[in-house]
Structure 1
Amino acid sequence: MTATTATRAHARLRPLGAESARWSSGFWGGVHERTRDVTIPQIWSSLSDPAVSPGLANFRIAAGLEEGSHLGPPFMDGDFYKWLEAAIARLETDPDPELAARVEDLAGLIASVQREDGYLHTPTIISTRHQALRETQGPVEALADRFHFETYNLGHLITAGVKHYEVTGSTTLLDAAKKAAGFLEDLATNKPLELARSAICPSHYMAVVDLYRATGDERYLRLSEAFVRVRDDFQGGDDNQDRLPVREQTVVAGHAVRANYLYAGLADLVAETGDDELTAVLERLWQDVVDTKLYITGGAGALYDGASPDGSPWQDQISRVHQAYGRAYQLPHTTAHNESCANIGLILWGERMLSLTGDARYADVIEQVAFNSLLSSISLAGSEYLYTNPLRQVRDLPYPLRRPGDTAIHPTPPPPPSDERLRESYLSCFCCPPNIARTLARFHERAASLGDDGLYLHLYGGSSVDVTTDDGGRLALREDSDYPWSGELTFTVQDAAGPGTPLHLRIPGWSSGATLTVNGDEVAVSEPGTYTRVEREWREGDVIALALPMPVRVLRAHRLAEEATNQVAVRRGPVVYCLESTDLPGGVALEQAALRRGQGLTPVEAEVTGTRIVALETEIAVLPKPTDDALYDDLGEAEPSTAKTRLVPYFAWGNRGAGEMSVWLPLAW
């Protein structure tokens, strides 16, 4: 099997499709099965039920098949396309004739709604139909409001159309994607200001490069370049990363989803053009995030509402920025936003930088996000979702935290107390659940890549990989492991032919003391955060054994991360842990729990709502309980006591009902 595309001329690595890489067993194999059997069908049951979601109904109304008005947010079309992409990815890994027929029917429905000029936005289409029937005089103008998210929706339509064509060979949705790109091309040529102003959450950057790769038509690559020119000529703000031309940006600021999508799209462009200057910009911005703005869980976008950080010395020119990257080391815990889409956007950006450079530090961050903030955004059952991913949840907050919706499409009373902030099966702001679904449905694409110098294994957790190189070499590997609970990984050669294909195994940046053998013979291991190259004439039955010691690590934060002062977090391997009030003895509140310096944390087999995990058992210090709720109070002279408890993986928090939780805990000496 070969890589998915012959383009990416300036990238070191090429991604692998489902014919070459799968999660066939182990941890990620289980997540794949859950996504296939639960998540994708559950989201469809919501989108297709008008009592829950207007997702499907909006398209049927726009097509004249039903009566009604548009409901839901203006980006609902894009959310529908993201689910469609997830369903198409399922067809690639697990063919299903019934689902394939449904997807083709939906593709036809979408195409029937599209205007001849390629524009498709169901709120506008429905309003136009109503006006034609003289039922309303509502707005019918395209791009009338930048927060209508038209280009965002069209970007996801193009991405789904390309994937549908690649998997099924059908051109129904691909033709719609081409028409959508034609509409964007007309805007870039004739209405650049309208395009720049409306380029909110720029999924279309990635999308048109996907279309170029699928069709080979260079007009779509030129369109991607035009997007950058149009953006650079527009005087915007940090909310959409258009305050400065992209090559002048030195720090990441503003809306985290929009930032991560933009930089992912620019990395796609660089893979085709080899723009070294833009590569340096992206590397600089990536380091700004990783070094100063990334949560230990891989969460991105710390602030519910921020301001353009240092955007202007004049306060009247500093604008509010929603769900934003803040200043360096501004990483609150309880109010951490970390929208699930932003964390996914960081994976999209990271995998493109990994493809460009072959640098393992990008795979390290993808793994950090994946095992922590990505998986925390979905329940262990695979059917409920979080919009925000905080690092601490406490009782009786004197203010409500933003909650993205309810279980119906209509407004409900004010949100419940923050200690009831749980995952929900449907959110009225529904951007995250289908994004989670498509990311997990295509997660096999992050397992490995093929380069001119061999096969690279990026992520571990139950992969099967089968590649054929341009010179005729073939290498098929099966991973057997209990990763991330154990660092003992075995890769068995299932088949090999032709010239020996060099194998590159990632040595995670978190690791220390890794060892590697091939058929029992020791192989020198490179430094953590790099790939170890193994080159030989492979034979069926060869066994590569990689051992990654997983001691429990107690970590502290940078001195400027104020909310973590005198606190520590716990990580084992790639998995970050947290303490839930469910696991505290009766009468002990979360704020009383402190980790004792030097106290052991023992890995133990455990379950959370039927899902197997490895928990960490320990004895904590129980600090004296405050006497009242005064803003400031005397410390008191009571001595701390001790209690036994356990920490659970962060991704498993909140699955046992309402309660408190914290990743960071005080350190008791």
Structure 2
Amino acid sequence: MSVTPALRAHAQLRPLDAEQARWARGFWGTVHDRTRDVTVPRIWDSLSDPEISPGLRNFRLAAGLESGTHVGPPFMDGDFYKWFEAATARLETDPDDELADRLQRIAELIASVQRADGYLHTPTVIAERNDEDVVALADRFNFETYNLGHLITAGVRHWQVTGSETLLDAAKKAASFLETLATQKPLELARSAICPSHYMAVIELYRATDDERYLRLAETFVRVRDAFDEGGDDNQDRIAVRDQTVVAGHAVRANYLYAGLADLVAETGDEELTGVLERLWHDVVDTKLYITGGCGALYDGASPDGDPWQSEISRVHQAYGRAFQLPHTTAHAESCANIGMIFWSERMLALTGDAKYTDVIEQIAYNSLLGSVSLAGSEYFYTNALRQVRDLPYDLRRPGDTGQAVVPPPPPSDERLRERYLSCFCCPPNIARTLASFHQRAASLSDDGLFVHLYGGSDIDVADDAGRLALREDSDYPWHETVTFTVAAASGALPLHLRIPGWCSGAVATVNGTPVPVSGAGTYTRIQREWAAGDVVELTLPMPVRVLRGHRLAEELTNQVAVQRGPVVYALESADLPDGVLLEQVALRRGGTFAPVEIEIDGARLTALETEVTILPLDADAGLYGDLEQAPLRSLPARLVPYFAWGNRGPGEMSVWLPLVW
């Protein structure tokens, strides 16, 4: 069973399921296969092995199948549900009886732990079994509503794919518990509404059941948040949602909140709230988004920064900083925050049909999202820096560090690598569920036809009153500029909308060799005709290498540039420098040329860029300040690799931004 995604009352675009769109070949086909064969099963291996992770064991303890105490962070339940969602998405694209049976058994285990009132939080349930005095919702950092939100989402997806109501019933009970809080204990709900996955979740439950009770519940969440007077910027609850003009605080919490609000708007058509979300989205994209699509520059800080009214300043954690505050080495850019920006952007895309949102989805997908998982598909980053250097005189959080003491101590900062299991395990299953469901981001259907958003090897087959259109995409995107769609089956004249990326100039399209008009960058080109099997649509997206500068207020970008080709951002790794040359000596030349070359790293085929770089003189013994060296400059050949591929060749240094010499 697979249920076609429900319509959104006020959205222009409708999502597709795995029967309508899938990644069958090419770049994303390879990522899909890797996610299916490596990422999803390896995460299960970790979660189900008590020597590695308490993920599964905590549910067994809560069910009374084993004895012991809860281990791990309080949000571990939510991480387990995210893996369950990823495995369910894998089941949708690649049916597997053994996996289906396993997921059903897990669903039954989860449901068996749930209290009669719908509350489910294994730390509390285990403590109660051990006759400990414990109070639900006593601490907002117990993440109960976050966990319940992910439970609801997992329950809906499992029902959509398998037809099983086991976890769907648990989802309904969880929503009932949240409803009781919202109506009877709104203060407790507001205090606990941290990292608000439950906003998106109850809307998904509404779409699955068509029960308006859940839509009203989402509206109540907003009212409860707006009435809360104990909040701060960290959780975006210092001021009412509609009064927010800039994005501040914890980046994951912000992106989840605004994605959930966009879901609500898709059902209510609230124009005022739509305007708020557009303003906030632009605040991130125009002033706070890394070139890699990373979100949330700061490990810790205060917001609003420099405000003269001290009473309005609150501590922030893993957060968006001030406008244009984009450090390189200490960039936080948590993987979950970057994924949250995909969630927010794809909902804004569905609302408006505006290609600018797809541009950001693509920017994140090809850079920070893929960079957060190894090329092998089995190791992960929690943070996603834009520069990695040796011998830092301070510690940076390791991928899985929760901020508590670690024994043994972390390795030197220049040896930070992706890890298979992180003590803070929120990101890996989030990466897995995003990639496992990435077929949903290939295309959408609207009242005006088919919109193709991303390229990379899709099969698409849709139909509506205007007809049917089945397409096969063959391309080597993002490495090569030609994308070819062959009509596999057709009837009628369903309009086809092909996205022209915002980075692209001079796009050309033909149908059966005849040129057709193409709109400008950052739009969708509309092609309408009576389609027939065998028709060929060819889209050419020129990919010259671009050398990009930063805004004048982005201080760390001064006199530095970054290199991008197509949607892919590039980086220099010390692995590609000759002996005796240090990363900080390398500068790019103004007007330099870049030659695309095919390479392989850890079995992955990639396109690198070869160029000549200038080697700056360096006084290795200089202190904080020193005289400019007058030694002559010299040149060397160098190679830049896709940012998402860095860190797959062992410890080393890396930088996206490099000095520019004239």
What range describes the TM-score normalised by the shorter chain of this pair? Answer: over 0.9
Deviation at 1:628, TM superposition (A): 1.1
Is the alpha carbon distance of 1:37 and 1:524 closer, same or farther for their aligned partners in structure 2, counting shifts above 3 Å?
same
Letter in 1 for 2:116: E
The answer to whether structure 1 residue 379 and structure 2 residue 362 are counterparts is: no
8 Å contact from structure 2 (residues 618, 629) kept in 1: no
Separation in 2 of the partners of 1:287 and 1:491?
33
Separation in 2 of the partners of 1:493 and 1:193?
56
Is the alpha carbon distance of 1:13 and 1:111 closer, same or farther for their aligned partners in structure 2, counting shifts above 3 Å?
same
User: Match for 1:653 among 631, 635, 646?
Assistant: 646
Please list the CA deviations of residues 204-245 of structure 1 after superposition, one character each: whole Å capped at 9, or x if unmatched.
000000000000000000000000000000021110000111
SS in 2 for 1:78: helix
Separation in 1 of the partners of 2:277 and 2:72?
35
The answer to whether structure 1 residue 296 and structure 2 residue 296 are counterparts is: no
Deviation at 1:250, TM superposition (A): 0.4
The answer to whether structure 1 residue 443 and structure 2 residue 445 are counterparts is: no
2:272 is matched with 277
Separation in 2 of the partners of 1:283 and 1:332?
25
Separation in 2 of the partners of 1:251 and 1:65?
48
8 Å contact from structure 1 (residues 293, 327) kept in 2: yes
1:641 is matched with 634
Deviation at 1:403, TM superposition (A): 1.5
Separation in 2 of the partners of 1:2 and 1:203?
23
User: Match for 2:254 among 259, 281, 292?
Assistant: 259
Separation in 2 of the partners of 1:406 and 1:252?
25
Letter in 2 for 1:568: V
8 Å contact from structure 1 (residues 2, 20) kept in 2: no
SS in 2 for 1:305: strand
1:471-620 alignment runs, 5 A limit? 471=465, 473-497=467-491, 499-620=492-613
Deviation at 1:668, TM superposition (A): 1.1
SS in 1 for 2:537: strand
Please list the CA deviations of residues 362-395 of structure 1 after superposition, one character each: whole Å capped at 9, or x if unmatched.
0000000000000000000000000000000000
1:466 is matched with 461
1:119-134 alignment runs, 5 A limit? 119-131=119-131
Separation in 1 of the partners of 2:312 and 2:44?
43
8 Å contact from structure 1 (residues 406, 426) kept in 2: no
The answer to whether structure 1 residue 29 and structure 2 residue 29 are counterparts is: yes
Separation in 1 of the partners of 2:349 and 2:179?
29
Q: Tell me, which stretches of 5 or more residues in structure 1 are unaligned? A: 132-136
2:46 is matched with 46
Letter in 1 for 2:381: L
8 Å contact from structure 1 (residues 158, 181) kept in 2: yes
1:429 is matched with 424
8 Å contact from structure 1 (residues 3, 16) kept in 2: no
Separation in 2 of the partners of 1:120 and 1:349?
27
2:150 is matched with 156
TM value normalised by structure 1: 0.97
8 Å contact from structure 1 (residues 7, 272) kept in 2: no
The answer to whether structure 1 residue 308 and structure 2 residue 306 are counterparts is: no
2:56 is matched with 56
SS in 2 for 1:461: coil
2:347 is matched with 352
Please list the CA deviations of residues 283-335 of structure 1 after superposition, one character each: whole Å capped at 9, or x if unmatched.
00011111000000000000111211248534365222111001100000000
Q: CA RMSD in A?
A: 1.5
8 Å contact from structure 1 (residues 3, 14) kept in 2: no
Deviation at 1:280, TM superposition (A): 0.3
Letter in 1 for 2:476: D
8 Å contact from structure 1 (residues 62, 125) kept in 2: yes
Please list the CA deviations of residues 237-266 of structure 1 after superposition, one character each: whole Å capped at 9, or x if unmatched.
110000111100000010000000000000
Separation in 2 of the partners of 1:317 and 1:73?
30
The answer to whether structure 1 residue 343 and structure 2 residue 335 are counterparts is: no
1:134 is matched with none
SS in 1 for 2:179: helix
1:226 is matched with 220
2:192 is matched with 198
8 Å contact from structure 1 (residues 557, 564) kept in 2: yes
1:67 is matched with 67
Please list the CA deviations of residues 342-368 of structure 1 after superposition, one character each: whole Å capped at 9, or x if unmatched.
000000000000000000000000000
SS in 1 for 2:650: coil
Letter in 2 for 1:265: G
Separation in 2 of the partners of 1:403 and 1:34?
25
Letter in 2 for 1:414: P
8 Å contact from structure 1 (residues 4, 14) kept in 2: no
Separation in 2 of the partners of 1:645 and 1:298?
25
SS in 2 for 1:594: strand
1:94-133 alignment runs, 5 A limit? 94-131=94-131
8 Å contact from structure 1 (residues 84, 103) kept in 2: yes
Please list the CA deviations of residues 259-285 of structure 1 after superposition, one character each: whole Å capped at 9, or x if unmatched.
000000000000000000000000000
Is the alpha carbon distance of 1:582 and 1:310 closer, same or farther for their aligned partners in structure 2, counting shifts above 3 Å?
closer
Letter in 1 for 2:568: V
1:135-146 alignment runs, 5 A limit? 137-138=132-133, 140-146=134-140
User: Match for 2:173 among 172, 179, 198?
Assistant: 179
Letter in 2 for 1:478: R
Separation in 2 of the partners of 1:85 and 1:277?
33
Deviation at 1:536, TM superposition (A): 0.5
8 Å contact from structure 1 (residues 268, 352) kept in 2: yes
SS in 2 for 1:632: coil
SS in 2 for 1:455: strand
1:7 is matched with 7
Separation in 1 of the partners of 2:622 and 2:415?
21
Please list the CA deviations of residues 428-473 of structure 1 after superposition, one character each: whole Å capped at 9, or x if unmatched.
000000000000000000000000000000000001100011x161
Is the alpha carbon distance of 1:195 and 1:406 closer, same or farther for their aligned partners in structure 2, counting shifts above 3 Å?
closer
Letter in 1 for 2:544: P
Letter in 2 for 1:345: G
Aligned residues: 660
Letter in 2 for 1:257: V
8 Å contact from structure 2 (residues 150, 201) kept in 1: yes
Separation in 2 of the partners of 1:2 and 1:38?
24
The answer to whether structure 1 residue 76 and structure 2 residue 70 are counterparts is: no
SS in 1 for 2:130: helix
SS in 2 for 1:387: coil
1:388 is matched with 383
Separation in 1 of the partners of 2:595 and 2:489?
39
Q: Tell me, which stretches of 5 or more residues in structure 2 are unaligned? A: none
Is the alpha carbon distance of 1:566 and 1:302 closer, same or farther for their aligned partners in structure 2, counting shifts above 3 Å?
same
8 Å contact from structure 1 (residues 2, 16) kept in 2: no
SS in 1 for 2:636: strand
8 Å contact from structure 1 (residues 516, 544) kept in 2: yes
Separation in 2 of the partners of 1:2 and 1:428?
34
Letter in 2 for 1:531: Y
Separation in 2 of the partners of 1:420 and 1:525?
47
Separation in 2 of the partners of 1:459 and 1:434?
23
Please list the CA deviations of residues 482-524 of structure 1 after superposition, one character each: whole Å capped at 9, or x if unmatched.
0000010100000002x31000000000000000000111111
Separation in 1 of the partners of 2:6 and 2:167?
22
Deviation at 1:404, TM superposition (A): 4.1
Separation in 2 of the partners of 1:318 and 1:9?
39
Separation in 1 of the partners of 2:317 and 2:432?
24
Deviation at 1:405, TM superposition (A): 2.9
